[in-house]
Amino acid sequence: MFLNVNTRRRVAAVILRRRLFVPGTLLALLFASALAHATASRAQDARKSRITTASGVRVRERPDTNAGESAKLPLGVVVEELEQSKEKAKVGTSEDYWYLVAAPGGAKGWVFGGLTAPFDAARREEIYQSIASERLANKAASFADLTDLVHFLDRAAKEVTRRDALAELEFARLNALGRSLSSIPIEQHENPTYKQWTTERDSEIVYSEPSGQWYVRASLLWDLQKKYRDLPVAERIAWEAAETPLPGECEGDLGCTLFYASATHGRYLKLYPRGAHADAALDAVAEVFNAVVEDIRGSNHVYEVAAEEKADFKKTLATLREQLTPAASPKAARLLKQLDEIAGHFH
């Protein structure tokens, strides 16, 4: 019997591990057992897998879009590839092969290749990140697509070990969650489908009565930034946190208005005074300051500071000054002058 080099090596390894040095029939039986072990290992190595890259991937009885369905697979499901169609087919705008697959749970059938990608467990971090990035880039994603993406990223984050990949996946998960909340129509929060989702994610989201919308809790993003502050992704996380709305509204309460600016874009500037989004953060603070300065220079004032709130108001002014000073730019200098004017008016 002819054995290739790899098989001979596997057989030899099995024999050496067992440390058996016997003659005749027993050796032949040992050799046959080792050969079977090596053959099984080769079959395992040759097994191919694919991963679904879309939501609701249909598993069909035949490689045809008109064939019956045996299952529907969510995003990010790894299936075993059993066979590939001889020719490519065109489905929508995509052209690819059909693949006969075995899915978890026992479902077996054909899936269109354009809705899947090759999967290698050794490259799972890269593959998961690619899927997350591609799905988040889809501006037309539906509520169902986005909730499916969140569920996939829930699972993916538990499977990766590389720290930089985990940071990207955890950030993508919060982004996807935020997108899913934004896709809920304001008038339909009590719709069972949406209600089930917001109930499921209750610990991660907050409802703002004035806007009638759900938001991701900004504290989760700030905590994530802190967790990965030594990685490049931390700056993007901080900017997302700064851009995430806080619940409620200030309604002319100047202390509240300035605190909001400090807790969002001011906090970003303290962390990244030279960050990629520093200029945009200064512009956001300027929008608030300009409105306040215009108000105090006018005759019909909107903004007020109650006497019992002046101590907290002064603390907020001091925090904003501390946040703006490191930016050391003409924009920041102008904002600091406006801050002095505001402080002088409400001394």
Residue that finishes a domain, picked among 249, 274, 289: 249
Please tell me whether residues 107 and 137 are part of one structural domain.
Answer: no
- DSSP letters of 221-266? HHHHHHHTTTSTHHHHHHHHHHHSPPSS--TTBHHHHHHHHIIIII
pLDDT above 50 for 26? no
Pairing state of beta strands 98-102 and 108-112? antiparallel
The interaxial angle of helices 163-182 and 218-227, nearest 10 deg, is 170
Pairing state of beta strands 116-119 and 48-52? antiparallel
212 Rama sector, left if φ>0, alpha if ψ -120 to 50, beta otherwise? left
Report the range out of 11-20, 44-53, 266-275 with the highest average pLDDT: 266-275
Residue 58's H or E segment, with its range, is strand 57-60
Please tell me whether residues 105 and 145 are part of one structural domain.
Answer: no
**What mean pLDDT value characterizes the chain?**
89
Q: In CATH, what number is assigned to the domain containing residue 319?
A: 1.20.1050
Domain region containing 156:
123-249
pLDDT above 60 for 167? yes
Please tell me whether residues 88 and 37 are part of one structural domain.
Answer: no
How many domains are there within the chain? 4
Sign of dihedral through CA atoms 245, 247, 252, 257?
A: negative
Please tell me whether residues 170 and 84 are part of one structural domain.
Answer: no
Give the list of residues 6+ apart from residue 21 with CB closer than 8 angstroms, or none.
none
pLDDT above 60 for 42? no
Tens-place pLDDT, residues 274-329: 999 999 999 999 999 999 999 999 888 888 888 888 899 999 999 999 999 999 99
Please tell me whether residues 146 and 236 are part of one structural domain.
Answer: yes
Percent of the chain predicted with pLDDT > 90: 79
Q: In CATH, what number is assigned to the domain containing residue 94?
A: 2.30.30.40
Please tell me whether residues 239 and 287 are part of one structural domain.
Answer: no
Q: Across residues 67-96, what is the average pLDDT? A: 95
Please tell me whether residues 264 and 307 are part of one structural domain.
Answer: yes
| Residues in a beta bridge with 15 | none
Whole-angstrom Cα distance, residue 109 to residue 107? 7
Q: Across residues 187-191, what is the average pLDDT? A: 91
Residue that finishes a domain, picked among 119, 134, 162: 119
Give the list of residues 6+ apart from residue 43 with CB closer than 8 angstroms, or none.
none
pLDDT score for 234: 98
pLDDT score for 182: 96
pLDDT above 80 for 268? yes
- DSSP letters of 155-209? HHTTT---HHHHHHHHHHHHHHHHHHHHTS-GGGTTSHHHHHHHHHTGGGEEEET
Instruction: Tell me the one-letter amino acid at 91.
Output: V
Question: Could you report how far apart the first and last alpha carbons of the chain are, in Å?
Answer: 96
Q: Which two tokens stand for residue 137?
A: 């880039």
| Closest among 220, 231, 105 to 163, alpha carbons compared | 231
Please tell me whether residues 220 and 196 are part of one structural domain.
Answer: yes
Please tell me whether residues 256 and 275 are part of one structural domain.
Answer: yes
Please tell me whether residues 172 and 242 are part of one structural domain.
Answer: yes
Please tell me whether residues 61 and 98 are part of one structural domain.
Answer: yes
Given pLDDT bands bounded at 50, 70 and 90, which one contains residue 337? very high
Please tell me whether residues 131 and 231 are part of one structural domain.
Answer: yes
Percent of the chain predicted with pLDDT > 70: 87
Whole-angstrom Cα distance, residue 236 to residue 279? 14
pLDDT above 50 for 44? no
Residue that finishes a domain, picked among 119, 137, 166: 119
Strand, helix or coil for residue 109: strand
Given pLDDT bands bounded at 50, 70 and 90, which one contains residue 154? very high
pLDDT above 90 for 156? yes
